[in-house]
Structure 1
Amino acid sequence: MTPETRPLRILMTNNTLSLRAGSELYLRDLAISFMKRGHFPVAYSRTLGAVANELRAATIPVIDDLNEMAIAPDIIHGQHHLETMTAATHFPHVPVVYTCHGWVPWPELPPAFPNIMRYVAVDDLCRERLLTTHGIEPEQITTLYNFVDLKRFHRVRELPEKPGSALVFSNTRPEIPQAIRQACDRLGIDKVDIVGQASGNAVAHPEMILADYDIVFAKARSAIEAMASGCAVVVADKERLAGMVTPENLATFQGLNFGIRTLQQQAFTSDNVERELKLYNAAAAGRVTQAIRSSADMEAVADAWIGLYRNAIDRWRELGPAITDEARFAAISEYLAGALSPRIKAADQNIRDRKNAEAELARVSREAEKVPELEKKLRNERAEHEKELAAARSKSNQIKSSKLKFILGRLKL
C-alpha cells in the first residue's frame, strides 16, 4: 500500500457535537463518509450530545479529552478556533487543515500556526475572511462549497404548478413569522409548518419530511438540503430575507452558501415575502434541484478533502523538520498575546461591565422600592402642614375678629 492510498487517521474538531446544526452535521457527514472509504476518523469536542451519539452509533470514536488518543493522527481536520488550536498544540508534529465556516462568529476566527498547512473556506465570503487574516497566504486557501448527502436526501419532490404548502426550516425561529403567514394566506398557501430547535420541533431526519413541501424558507445547509429534495427555496433568516432561488441567481447564492451576505438584500415584510413567493415556478425549481444535486454532492467534496489531507501531509514532510521547538513556542506566545489574550480580557471586561450594570440596576431598584414609602411620608407631612396652616389661619381669623370687635367697641364709646 502506497502513501497515496493508505488509510488516514483523521482527528476532526468542532466546538460542540451536541445540537444538529451546520458545522456539527458537516463534520458528522464527512466523518461517516471517510469511515465508509476505509479511513479512521476520530471526533473531538468538549461539548458532546446528540451528534456525538450519532457518530458513536456509526462506529466513529468520539472524545472530549485529547489524552484519550494514544496514537497521533495523520492529519487534523480543524473546525473552530479554540478546538483547532487545542489539537494543534497537543499534536505539534501533525499537519492541520483548518476549515472556516463563518464570517461573523469569533469561534470561526482563522488561527495562523506553524503546523496549519492548508485552509478551507466553505464559501466565497469565508475565503475573504481567510484572505484578510494576517499570516495566511492565498496559495494555502481552497474553497469547497457546502454539500448535501444525496444518498440520504434521495426523495425528490415533483412540484405542482401552484404551491399549496410551505415549511419554515430553521433552528433560530421560535414560531412562524407573521410576514410568512400573511403572504402565504394572500396567495392561498394553506399549509404552513415550522421545524427546528427554537420552535421545539427539531427533526433528526429532515430528509424524511422536506419532500412533503412545495416551498421551504431556509438558509445555508438547510436551504441546500431543501433544494436537493426538489423544493422551491426562499432564502431567509430570523429577521432577513434574500429571496427565491432561481436558475439565474443560483451560482451567486451558492458561492455565498445561501448565507449572511445574500441576506442583506431586503426587509423581512409580508409584501416582500409575497413578491418572492410569486416567483415560484415548478420548472425553474426543478432546474435548481438538478444543478444542486450535480454540484453539491458530498462524495465529490469528500474526495477533495482526502486530496487536501494528502497534500497537507506532503507539505508538512517538506516544511515540518525545519520548524524548531523554539519556533513553536514563539508561535504559541504570539498566539496567546495576539489572539487569545485580547479576547479573554475583553470578555473579562464585559463580565465586569455586566456586574456593574447589574449592581446599578439593583441600586436603582432598591431606590425605587423606597418611592412608595417616601410618597406616603410626603403625603403625611403635607397633611400635617395643611393642618398647621388651617390652625394658623383659624387663629389668625380669631385675632382679626377680636381686634375688629375691640375697634367697634371703642367706636361706640
Structure 2
Amino acid sequence: MRILITNTALAGRGGSELYVRDLALGFLERGHTPLVYSPILGEVAQEIRAATIPVVDYLDKIALPPDVIHGQHHLETLTALLHFPRVPAVSFCHGWTPWEENPPRFPRILRYVAVDLTCRDRLLFEHGIPDEQIQLLLNFVDLERFRPRTPLPARPQRALVFNNHAAEGTHLPAIRDACARLGLALDVMGAATKTANAQPEKELERYDLVFAVGRSALEALAVGTAVVLCSPAGVGPLVTVQDLDRLRALNCGIRALRMPLTPEVLTHQISRYEAQDAMEVSRRIRATVSRDAVVDELLELYQAVRGEYDASEKAGADAEEKAVASYLRWVAPVVKDAAHARYERTRFAIRNTNLQQTAAHRETEV
C-alpha cells in the first residue's frame, strides 16, 4: 500500500514531525511504501530519506498516486487531496491550540484521528465532526529506541527539562528555582535553548526526574524516569500509578496542566517522587504505548477507508469544489492578516531607517 503522509514542516524536532518519521519507518518495515510530503524540509526530512523513504516538497515529483492520504495539517492535507483527485484520506489532529491542527472538511476525508481526548473534543465540539467519523488513537513510543534504564535512586539527584519551548522567558526559571531549593542538578534539552538532541533516548537514562509534556513525557516514562508534567502553559502532577490512565488519555498534555507555574507548586510535585511507583508507571506505559500496535491499527484503518471509498457513491466535482471554496473563505482572513502584518513591519522598518538617517545627518551638521 502506498501511503502519503503530509506535514506542515519536517525541519525542527517537534512532535508531529517525529510522529511522521516513526510511522513512516513502521510502514516501511511492514513492506508498505510510505511517501512523505512537506513544503518545508530540514533535519527530520533528511532522517526519513536516509531510511530510503521518499520525501518531497512538491507533489508533482510523485509519479504514482498513493492508495491513501494520511493527512496532518490542513493546508498540506488539502493540497494532497487536490493533487490526487481519486484518493481517500484520514485527517489527524495532534493538538488543542495550533492553527494547523484545525480539521479540514472535504468529501474524501472519511475518518478523523485524535491522539487524545482533548483533540477528540476539539473535533467533536468545536468543528462538528460526527462522532462516528472520529477514531481515538493514543500517541506511541518507539520502545526499541527508548529502552528501560537502571533502577531509580531513592531520592532524585539529576533532573532534565525536556521541552522545545523551555527558555528564560517561559517556564525554565520556575523549574530552576524549584530544583535549586531541593538540591537537584538541572539540565535542559530542547530547541529554544539550542540543546535539541537527535537521540534523546541516550540522554534520558542519565536523569532521575524529567519535566515534560506530550510525546516527550511518554518517552521519559517509557525509559523509567519520574516525570512532572510542565510546559509554558502550566504545571501538571507528577505522573503516578494512580493518575496514569487519566493522564495517558490526555497525552500528558495541556488539559492536565491545571496548576500555576510557580516554584512552590513544582517543589510540591517533585516532593511526591517515589522510585518504586515511577518504575511501575514505566512498566505499565511500556505495555500500552508500542509504536507497532499503532502501526497495526492505522494499516487496518487505511484498508477500511479504501474499501469504504471504493464501495461508496463518489462525491461529484461540484461537492469538492464547494468544499474548497468554503476552505478558502475560512483561510482568507488568516492570509490577509499575515499580509497586513508583513506590510506594517516593512513600513515600520522603513520609517525607523529614515529616522536614523535623519538623526545621523543632523549630528553631522552639528
TM bucket (normalised to shorter chain) is over 0.9
The letter of the residue matching 1:213 is: Y
Q: Which residue of 2 aligns with 1:215?
A: 209
Structure with greater Cα Rg? 1
- For residues 194 and 313 of structure 1, the distance between their equivalents in structure 2, rounded to whole angstroms, comes to 44
Contact 2:217 2:229 in 1 (8 A): yes
Counterpart mapping for 1:297-376 below 5 A:
297-319=290-312, 321-337=313-329, 339-354=330-345
Contact 1:81 1:108 in 2 (8 A): yes
**Residue 255 of structure 1: how far off its partner (Å):** 1.5
The letter of the residue matching 1:27 is: V
Counterpart mapping for 1:9-48 below 5 A:
9-48=2-41
- For residues 51 and 333 of structure 1, the distance between their equivalents in structure 2, rounded to whole angstroms, comes to 33
User: Out of 174, 180, 185, which is 1:179 matched to?
Assistant: 174
Of 266-275 and 127-136, deviating more is 127-136
Against the structure 1 CA distance between its residues 329 and 276, is the aligned structure 2 distance closer, same or farther, given a 3 Å change threshold? same
Contact 1:103 1:126 in 2 (8 A): yes
- For residues 352 and 214 of structure 2, the distance between their equivalents in structure 1, rounded to whole angstroms, comes to 40
- For residues 154 and 185 of structure 1, the distance between their equivalents in structure 2, rounded to whole angstroms, comes to 29
Q: Which residue of 1 aligns with 2:88?
A: 95
User: Out of 184, 194, 202, which is 2:196 matched to?
Assistant: 202
Q: Which residue of 1 aligns with 2:151?
A: 158
**Residue 162 of structure 1: how far off its partner (Å):** 0.9
- For residues 71 and 62 of structure 1, the distance between their equivalents in structure 2, rounded to whole angstroms, comes to 14
User: Are 2:240 and 1:249 equivalent residues in the alignment?
Assistant: no
TM-score, L = length of structure 1:
0.82
**Runs (5+) with no aligned partner, structure 2:** none
- For residues 59 and 346 of structure 2, the distance between their equivalents in structure 1, rounded to whole angstroms, comes to 35
Q: Which residue of 2 aligns with 1:292?
A: 285
- For residues 251 and 49 of structure 1, the distance between their equivalents in structure 2, rounded to whole angstroms, comes to 35
User: Out of 113, 120, 131, which is 2:106 matched to?
Assistant: 113
Q: Which residue of 2 aligns with 1:390?
A: none
Contact 1:235 1:258 in 2 (8 A): yes
- For residues 200 and 321 of structure 2, the distance between their equivalents in structure 1, rounded to whole angstroms, comes to 46
Name the SS for the 2:90 alignment partner: strand
- For residues 98 and 176 of structure 2, the distance between their equivalents in structure 1, rounded to whole angstroms, comes to 31
**Runs (5+) with no aligned partner, structure 1:** 1-7, 374-413
- For residues 220 and 347 of structure 1, the distance between their equivalents in structure 2, rounded to whole angstroms, comes to 29
**Residue 155 of structure 1: how far off its partner (Å):** 3.2
Counterpart mapping for 1:51-130 below 5 A:
51-130=44-123
Contact 1:228 1:293 in 2 (8 A): yes
Structure of higher RCO (CA pairs closer than 8 Å, 6+ residues apart): 2
- The alignment-based identity, stated in percent, is 46
**Residue 187 of structure 1: how far off its partner (Å):** 2.0
The letter of the residue matching 2:148 is: R
- For residues 202 and 177 of structure 2, the distance between their equivalents in structure 1, rounded to whole angstroms, comes to 27
- For residues 234 and 91 of structure 2, the distance between their equivalents in structure 1, rounded to whole angstroms, comes to 29
Against the structure 1 CA distance between its residues 138 and 239, is the aligned structure 2 distance closer, same or farther, given a 3 Å change threshold? closer
- For residues 315 and 166 of structure 2, the distance between their equivalents in structure 1, rounded to whole angstroms, comes to 48
**Residue 179 of structure 1: how far off its partner (Å):** 2.5
The letter of the residue matching 1:111 is: P
Contact 1:183 1:270 in 2 (8 A): yes
Contact 2:138 2:251 in 1 (8 A): yes
Contact 1:10 1:41 in 2 (8 A): yes
Contact 1:110 1:133 in 2 (8 A): no
Name the SS for the 2:112 alignment partner: strand
Contact 2:233 2:254 in 1 (8 A): no
Q: Which residue of 1 aligns with 2:218?
A: 224
User: How many correspondences in the alignment?
Assistant: 361
Name the SS for the 1:198 alignment partner: helix
- For residues 355 and 247 of structure 1, the distance between their equivalents in structure 2, rounded to whole angstroms, comes to 54
The letter of the residue matching 2:284 is: A
Name the SS for the 1:132 alignment partner: helix
The letter of the residue matching 1:142 is: Q
Contact 1:220 1:258 in 2 (8 A): yes
Contact 1:112 1:135 in 2 (8 A): no
The letter of the residue matching 2:317 is: D
- For residues 31 and 322 of structure 1, the distance between their equivalents in structure 2, rounded to whole angstroms, comes to 29
User: Out of 187, 209, 217, which is 1:193 matched to?
Assistant: 187
**Residue 330 of structure 1: how far off its partner (Å):** 2.2
